[in-house]
Amino acid sequence: MDLDQLLTSLIVLPGEAEWVEFKQNNENPHEIGECISALANSAALLGKECAYLVWGVEDRTHRIVGTTFRPRQKKKGNEELENWLSHSLAPRTDFRIHVWDHDSLPIVLFEIQPAVTSPVAFKDTEWIRVGSYKKRLKEHPEKERTLWAALSRTSFEKGIAAHDVTSDQALSRLDYPKYFELMEAALPANKSGLIERLVVDRILVRHASDRFDITNLGALLFAKDLSRFEGISRKSVRVVVYRGVNRLETIRERVMQKGYAAGFEELIAFIIDQTPQNEVIGQALRREIRMYPEKAIRELVPNAMIHQDFSMSGTGPMVEIFEDRLEISNPGLPLIDTLRFIDHSPRSRNEVLADLMRRLHICEERGSGIDKVIFQIELFQLPAPDFRTDATHTRVVLFAQQELADMDKRDKIRACYQHCCLLCVSNRVMSNTTLRERFKIAEKDYPVASRIIRDTVDAGLIRPEDPTSKSKKHARYVPFWA
C-alpha cells in the first residue's frame, strides 16, 4: 500500500465523509474506541472497503500538520492501547495501524475493516457517523435499520485482504497455479487471461488497468503465506499434538500458513501422519492402518473451515490430536441443531467460500458429507463421533478404538441414534439385527442390542416405525425427526 498516495486521496475528500475522520493529537483511548466503532459501522453502511482514522491532519482544513501521537507506545492502564482497543470492541474488528512520515511530518493512520455480521460496539455501545459527527447508533433508528439491511447483504469473503496492489504483486502472494490445478483447467497462455479468471471467481477485484484488491476469499484459499495478510492471518489452521489424554503437554504444533486450498493436501497428510495406528488382522495377515478414516478427516476439516464465524477475530479452525481422540473445532455456533447434522442440508454463513471449495473438489457436494463420516466411522468400528458446542465454538470429536463393554451409556445411545439416522437417509430402517452388525454383537447376545435401543428410545432420539406393532424381535426404528 502506498501510504502517501492514500493520504493524498483522503485529504481531498469533502469534510462530511462519514468513513474518514481526521485528528491532530487526540490520544483519549475511549474517544479512539468510539471512533473505530462509528467508522466501522459507517463503512459497512456506505459499502466502503475500509474506513480511516487519521492523526496529523487538521479536521476543518484537511491541512497536513503532523502529530505527536505514538499509538504503539500508548497504554491504557498496564495494557498496550492496541490490545485494549481490540478486546473492547464487539464483535472484534480488524484494524491496522500505520505510522510513517509524510514530507517529514509524522502521520498515524488506523485502517479499519467495516462491520460484517453485526454493528460494532465499543464498551457495549454502538456508534455511527452522522455527517462529521459521532453519534450513538440507537439515537438514529433509520440508520440502524439501513445498517442491518446492509450487513445482511455483505459477507466476509467479499472483504479485502490486500488493497491496491499491482497484478504482479497479487500473483506473487497467491498460489494461482494451484487454483487452475484444482479447477482442472489449463493455465492461461498470458497474464491477462490468468488475471481475468481470478477476477471472475472473486479472488481479485479490479480497480484500474493494473490495480487490484485481493479479497478475503482469495487470500484464505490461495495465499502462499497467510501471515502476509494481517487481517486474516489468525484464520490459519492449527494442528496440535498432545501427550496423553489432556492438554498438559504438547508434543508438536504446526500452523498451516498456506491458504486452505493451496495447502489442503499438505495439511491432511500432516494430520494423518500424527494419528495413531491400529492393528487389524485379515486372512491371517496383520497390518497397521491409521486409527481414524482419512475420508472422515477430509470431510470434517473443510467443514471447520467453511462453517467458522469469521467475525470472531483472533481464532480459527483447530485440530487437536490426543492419545484417545481427535478433535476438530471452529469458531462459531452451527446454524442447525447438532442432532440434525446427518440428515439436514448444511447451512453456512459463508456460502461463497463453501461454493468455491466444492468447485475445487475440496469438500463434498451439499448434504452428503456427514453421512459419509458416519459411514466411515462404522466401517472402522469406532465409537460414534460427538458433535458438541460451547459458548463460542463448534467441535467434532472422533474417538479411538474402544470395545463396546468399555463404552458408557451415552456413547452407546449416540452410536445407536447416528446408526438409525444413517440408515434412514439411505432409505433403510434400523432393527436389532442392523445394530448388532454395527457393534459386532453376536446373534445370541441380541438382548445387549435391545437394551441399547430401549435406552435410545427413552432418550427421545429414536421411535418405533410402527407404534402399533407388538413384535420386539422384528421391531424397526426411525429417528425422532422422521
Nearest to residue 202, comparing CAs of 359, 366, 367?
Answer: 359
Q: C-alpha grid cell for residue 14?
A: 469533502
User: Which CATH code is given to the segment(s) 236-402?
Assistant: 3.30.565.60
Query: Going by DSSP bridges, is the β-strand pair 121-122/125-130 parallel, antiparallel, or unpaired?
Result: antiparallel
Report which of residues 90 and 300 the model is more confident about: 300
**pLDDT score, position 469:** 79
State the pTM of this model: 0.73
Q: Which residue has the cell 479499519?
A: 112
User: Which CATH code is given to the segment(s) 3-154?
Assistant: 3.30.950
Report which of residues 432 and 14 the model is more confident about: 432
Q: What percent of the chain has pLDDT over 70?
A: 95
Q: How many angstroms separate the CA atoms of 420 and 418, rounded?
A: 5
Q: C-alpha grid cell for residue 12?
A: 481531498
Where are the alpha helices (H) located in 307-379, listed in sequence order? 351-359, 369-379
Q: How many angstroms separate the CA atoms of 217 and 304, rounded?
A: 15
Domain positions in the chain are 3-154, 160-227, 236-402, 405-479
Helix 294-306 and helix 369-379: axis angle, to 10°? 150
Per-residue pLDDT band for 367 (boundaries 50, 70, 90) equals low
CATH fold group of domain 405-479 = Arc Repressor Mutant, subunit A (1.10.10)
Dmax (CA) of the chain:
90
Rg (alpha carbons) of the chain, rounded to whole number: 27
Query: Going by DSSP bridges, is the β-strand pair 51-55/20-23 parallel, antiparallel, or unpaired?
Result: parallel
Residues 6 or more apart in contact with residue 424 via CB below 8 angstroms: 343, 430, 478, 479, 482
Q: Same CATH topology for 3-154 and 236-402?
A: no
**pLDDT score, position 93:** 78
Rounded to the nearest 10°, the torsion over CA 79, 83, 87, 89 is 120
pLDDT digits (tens, 9 = 90+) for 321-354: 999 999 999 999 988 899 999 887 767 778 889 9
pLDDT digits (tens, 9 = 90+) for 112-169: 988 877 899 999 999 999 988 899 999 999 999 999 888 876 678 888 899 889 999 9
**pLDDT score, position 253:** 96
Query: Going by DSSP bridges, is the β-strand pair 285-290/277-282 parallel, antiparallel, or unpaired?
Result: antiparallel
Q: How far apart are the first and last CA of the chain?
A: 56
Element (DSSP H or E) covering residue 311: none
Nearest to residue 55, comparing CAs of 40, 38, 35?
Answer: 35
Decide: 162 and 217 in contact? Cβ < 8 Å: no
Decide: 3 and 48 in contact? Cβ < 8 Å: no
**pLDDT score, position 284:** 52
